[in-house]
Amino acid sequence: MWTVEDGIERIRSRGLKITSQRIAILKLLEDRKDHPSAEKIFREMKEIYPTISFATIYSTAQILRDAGLLQILSIDDRRVFFDPDPTPHAHFLCSKCGALEDIPLEKGILNRIRRSVPHDLDAVQVYCYGICRACSGREITGARPRKATRAH
């Protein structure tokens, strides 16, 4: 994982300005293990900078992605998620509760994809969809037809 200092260095090395807002976004994302939605980061940033716009959040996220610090996940067609872990891995989205989880991706799979694509790949995203374990557990107990247990 990267630190705020790494982030500042990467932004600077791309010839971009270090603004206090960019540093604040780096601080919000540093060492984060979850996958905050863009809206969540927007809300958190609004507490520090009440006038900040969603467009500023998104354009900063794109800068961080281009600098190799962040993945922008479009796994959900209603929300965009940020992943501060730039190393290649797959993601799972529960279609019931919306939980988003990391799934390890073997290097062999990645290499096979890279070999099968006749272009220079910058990134590979693998999105898996289904029902998470917690939800399917609830599903089984909730959906099972209740037997009438009458004591006769």
Q: Quick one: DSSP state of residue 8?
A: H
As a whole number of angstroms, the distance between CA 72 and CA 86 comes to: 9
How many amino acids of this chain bind Zn ion (CB under 5 A)?
8
Residue with tokens 């910058």, as numbered in its chain? 122
Q: Tokens for 42?
A: 């927007």
Query: Closest separation between CB of residue 57 and Zn ion, Å?
Result: 19
Among 29, 64, 93, 132, binds Zn ion (CB under 5 A): 132
Touching Zn ion, residues 62-101 (CB under 5 A): 83, 94, 96-97, 99
| Degrees to nearest 5, angle at CA 56 with 50 and 61 | 120
Name the residue nearer to Zn ion (CB basis): 52 or 66.
66
Which residues of this chain interact with Zn ion, rule CB under 5 A?
A: 83, 94, 96-97, 99, 102, 132, 135
